Amino acid sequence: MAKLKHAMKKRESKPFKELLLALRARLRGDVSGLKDAALNKNAAEGSGSTLSNHMADMGSDQYEQDFSLSLMANEEEVLEQIDAALVRVNEGTYGACEECEGKIPKMRLNAIPYTAHCVKCADKIQRGM
């Protein structure tokens, strides 16, 4: 088992494990909420005029937006990432960036609990660097 300085202790990662499990259940359609979510999605796609909300405080809103966007982008991929994150929880490496081994801020993990990278590295990867 890799010893990562910034990985969470089991006790710390437990809430995130529960988040991941809940998220996976939702993506797999194990809960009844999925039908509503799909309906909402269709409704959103159907309307051509989307009012853009300019929030003064972009902090957590931005995270939530990224989160739901990535959910819609590729659910299969997200499911794989969730599974990988659960493995990291079990191995005790969760919470550390897979790229630089730095600490992933809890705020980021709250928004994207399956992320394996800190903001910097995720940005680099997204840009294909």
Nearest CB to Zn ion, comparing residues 19 and 122? 122
Q: Work out how close the CB of 50 gets to Zn ion at its nearest, in angstroms, rounded to a whole number.
A: 33
Residues at the site binding Zn ion, with contacts judged by CB under 5 A: 97, 99-100, 102, 118, 121
Q: Work out how close the CB of 28 gets to Zn ion at its nearest, in angstroms, rounded to a whole number.
A: 29
Q: Work out how close the CB of 65 gets to Zn ion at its nearest, in angstroms, rounded to a whole number.
A: 22
Three-class SS string for the chain?
CCCCCCCCCHHHHHHHHHHHHHHHHHHHCCCCHHHHHHHHHHHHHHCCCCCCCCCCCCHHHHHHHHHHHHHHHCHHHHHHHHHHHHHHHHHCCCCECCCCCCECCHHHHHHCCCCCCCHHHHHHHHCCC
Nearest CB to Zn ion, comparing residues 14 and 120? 120
Nearest CB to Zn ion, comparing residues 44 and 100? 100
Nearest CB to Zn ion, comparing residues 23 and 104? 104
Q: Work out how close the CB of 86 gets to Zn ion at its nearest, in angstroms, rounded to a whole number.
A: 20
